[in-house]
């Protein structure tokens, strides 16, 4: 293969030398009209030179540099686009205390690496800088989530069913006592009344804490026998 290429180059060199000799001779003995007719021969020599450059792989240095610069810019663009953003911040708390219909947010900022400082001046990061998805918060004590609030089961109250319903002191009759006496009393707690010696109880002797936070019935009295 090499000797074929060498032979081709030698042939082209001989043709080039012959063309140059013809042009020199023609320049001495030809008139102006005839000399103009030989203009295409110079184009032919330029065409042959281009073929030789292609066969030998010769390229102009500026073309090589242009391709290198294009490749460098493409690689930089890919790198800076992939590393344009900072890390996402943690999500904020849900905007509702309980139930459905809330939102939470997180953000990130444009923070390309130092090698992308020139790139960043003329480019924007792809994608959003803020995310705000929906969220909900479970209810306490088995409550049912609603729109930013909860429906509470019996025995619990509050926006998120966070408060347990209790009954306060059921009251003590004069000359009498109640057991247990220390509040608060859970729902369903039953208290018992009794009178001091020499007194008799008038009314019911027990009362029960209800889901509304009150004892049923009314406070009994102790009357002297």
Judge whether residue 221 has pLDDT over 80. Answer: yes
| Closest of 209, 206, 182 to residue 194, by C-alpha | 206
Q: What is the pLDDT of residues 83-102, one digit of tens each?
A: 999 999 999 999 999 999 99
What is the biggest distance separating any 2 CA atoms in the chain, rounded to whole angstroms? 164
Q: Do 125 and 174 form a contact (C-beta atoms < 8 A)?
A: no
pTM of the model: 0.55
Burial of 185 (0-12, 13-18, 19+ CB in 10 A): buried
In the chain the domains, ranked by start, together with CATH numbers, are 74-163 (2.20.100.10), 165-224 (2.10.70.10)
Q: What is the mean pLDDT of the chain?
A: 82
Q: How far is CA 125 from CA 3, 105, 121, 129, in A?
A: 56, 19, 11, 9
Judge whether residue 134 has pLDDT over 70. Answer: yes
Give the Cα separation of 179 and 191 in Å (integer). Answer: 5
DSSP 114: G
Judge whether residue 190 has pLDDT over 80. Answer: yes
Between vectors from CA 205 to CA 201 and to CA 210, what angle results, nearest 5°? 145
Cβ atoms within 10 Å, residue 99: 22
Judge whether residue 53 has pLDDT over 60. Answer: no
Identify which has the larger pLDDT, 166 or 66.
166
Q: What is the pLDDT of residues 153-177, one digit of tens each?
A: 999 999 999 999 999 999 999 999 9
pLDDT of residue 15: 52
Give the Cα separation of 174 and 196 in Å (integer). Answer: 9
Burial of 32 (0-12, 13-18, 19+ CB in 10 A): exposed
Would you say how long the chain is, in residues? 225
Judge whether residue 56 has pLDDT over 90. Answer: no
| Range from 35-39, 98-102, 201-205 carrying the lowest mean pLDDT | 35-39
Give the Cα separation of 128 and 109 in Å (integer). Answer: 9
Judge whether residue 222 has pLDDT over 50. Answer: yes
Q: Reply yes or no: is the peptide bond before residue 184 cis, omega within 30 of 0.
A: yes
**φ, ψ for residue 221, nearest 5 deg:** -125, 160
Can you read off the two tokens belonging to residue 29?
A: 């003995």
Burial of 220 (0-12, 13-18, 19+ CB in 10 A): buried
């Amino acid at each position: 293969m090499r000797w074929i290429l060498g032979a081709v180059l030698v042939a082209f060199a001989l043709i080039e030398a012959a063309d140059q000799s013809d042009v020199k001779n023609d320049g001495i003995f030809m008139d102006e009209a005839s000399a103009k007719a030989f203009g295409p021969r110079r184009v032919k020599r330029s065409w042959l030179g281009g073929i030789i450059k292609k066969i030998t792989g010769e390229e102009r240095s500026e073309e090589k540099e242009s391709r290198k610069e294009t490749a460098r810019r493409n690689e930089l663009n890919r790198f800076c686009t992939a590393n344009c953003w900072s890390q996402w911040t943690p999500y904020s708390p849900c905007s509702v205390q309980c139930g459905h219909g809330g939102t939470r947010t997180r953000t990130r900022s444009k923070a390309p690496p130092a090698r992308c400082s020139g790139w960043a001046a003329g480019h924007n990061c792809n994608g959003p800088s803020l995310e705000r998805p929906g969220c909900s918060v479970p209810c306490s004590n088995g409550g049912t989530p609603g729109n930013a609030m909860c429906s509470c089961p019996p025995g619990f109250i509050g926006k998120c069913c966070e408060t347990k319903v209790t009954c306060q002191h059921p009251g003590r009759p004069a000359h009498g006592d109640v057991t247990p006496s220390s509040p608060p009393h859970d729902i369903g707690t039953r208290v018992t009344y009794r009178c001091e010696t020499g007194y008799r109880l008038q009314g019911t002797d027990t009362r029960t804490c209800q889901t509304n936070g009150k004892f049923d019935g009314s406070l009994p009295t102790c009357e002297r026998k």
